[in-house]
Each structure stands twice: as C-alpha cells, then as structure tokens.
C-alpha cells in the first residue's frame, strides 16, 4: 500500500537539520536572520561550512525516498518516486513535529532531483551558484532554480506527467518563498553580506 511508503517519507522530511545545528550552538534559528530553518539561514548565521552540512542533510531527505521508490518499482522514474519526494518535501516544509514551522524545501527538492535527474541537478546547481554570486541573494537563486526544474524536464523531453510532477514540486517551493518575493520586490531581502554571527545571534 502506497501510504506505507508516503508516511515514512513525510516523517523523514521532518528531520530538523537546521534546528539541530543551531541548537547545538545555543541559538534558535527561528529568531535570527530570515528566521527560516534552512541551509541559507544557517550559512548566514554560522558560516558556509555549516550551511553546506544542512544542505546535504536536507538533500538526503529528498534523495532517500526516491532511491527507495526505485528499488520498489521497476519503472524509472515512477510516479511513486515523485509522490514520495513530495511527501518528504511536505514534511520538511510543514513538520507536524514542530508545529508546521519548517523550511522552504530547496535542498530537499534538490536531493530528489539528484536521484531522478543527476545531470539536471548539476545544471541547476550551477545556475544557483552564478545567480547567488552575481546578486548576493540566495532566495532569488532558489526561485530561479525552482522555475528551472520543470523547464529542464521539458528540455530533457520528459513525459508530460513528469513535467507536471516537477512543476508541482517547484510550485511548493515558490509558495514557501512568497515572503522572500515580497522582500525582493521591496528591496528588503537579506543578502549574503548581511551576515549574522553566532555571538550576535545568541545576544
């Protein structure tokens, strides 16, 4: 039964990578920087190294369910792969274990893309790095990557249902970035240069 795979995928998504890293340093990640429990805010607060750690951990939350789905079914990719990835992303964004206060899903969706389309992941990562360096806005880079996911699937000539599934995952990321979009439009979005040190965060 499919729910036997979707439920564990959701709860894997709730694993609080950013919260645990920040808590180990005596900081509530919800109270510093953007307040988002994700890799970008961790990097802004504690440095790039810790941001990468959280990105990898959050990415595994998307990659593992897809890998499991590909062991369960013969098709590659299967609708089950996207369903399990979606469950993990929802768990990351809306964790029942933390009053539905989760992250924005970029790394978790990225992990799913690694397992589904590794080459596309490499291209989208390059786009993220270039935009992030050019603008200093991690949120803008993430938005463009989210939009690029279904576009990339079209470029790879994937079936319509798969493009639609990619678009649905991208839409979740975009919806979780509505506040970022508003701040980008108003010019109030935090940049990488606006670092918050651990000492400042714990004051």
* Average pLDDT value for the chain: 90
Count CB-CB contacts under 10 A for residue 31: 10
Beta carbons within 8 Å of 29's beta carbon, 6+ residues apart: 18, 19, 21, 22, 23, 35, 36, 37, 41, 42, 45
Using DSSP, state whether 187 is helix, strand or coil.
Answer: coil
pTM score, whole prediction: 0.89
| CA contacts within 13 A on the Cβ side of 27 | 24
Name the one residue in this structure whose structure tokens are 């499919």: 2
Q: Which residues contact 137 (CB under 8 A, 6 or more apart)?
A: 131, 184, 189, 191, 192
Q: What are the pLDDT digits (tens) for 93-143?
A: 999 999 999 999 999 999 999 999 999 999 999 999 999 999 988 889 999
């Amino acid at each position: 039964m499919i729910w036997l795979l979707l439920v564990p995928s959701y709860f894997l998504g709730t694993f609080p990578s950013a919260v645990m890293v920040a808590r180990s340093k005596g900081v509530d990640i919800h109270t510093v920087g953007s307040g988002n429990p994700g890799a970008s805010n961790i990097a802004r607060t504690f440095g790039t190294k810790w941001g990468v750690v959280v990105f990898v951990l959050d990415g595994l939350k998307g990659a593992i369910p897809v890998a499991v789905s590909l062991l369960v079914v013969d098709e590659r990719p299967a609708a089950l792969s996207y369903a399990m990835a979606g469950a993990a992303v929802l768990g990351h964004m809306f964790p029942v274990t933390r009053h539905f206060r989760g992250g924005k899903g970029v790394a978790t969706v990225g992990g799913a893309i690694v397992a589904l389309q590794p080459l596309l992941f490499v291209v989208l990562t390059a786009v993220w790095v270039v935009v992030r360096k050019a603008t200093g806005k991690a949120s803008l880079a993430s938005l463009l990557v989210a939009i690029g996911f279904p576009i990339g699937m079209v470029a790879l000539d994937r079936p319509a249902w798969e493009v639609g599934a990619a678009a649905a995952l991208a839409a979740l990321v975009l919806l979780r970035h509505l506040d970022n979009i508003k701040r980008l439009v108003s010019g109030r979005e935090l940049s990488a240069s606006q670092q918050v040190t651990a000492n400042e965060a714990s004051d």
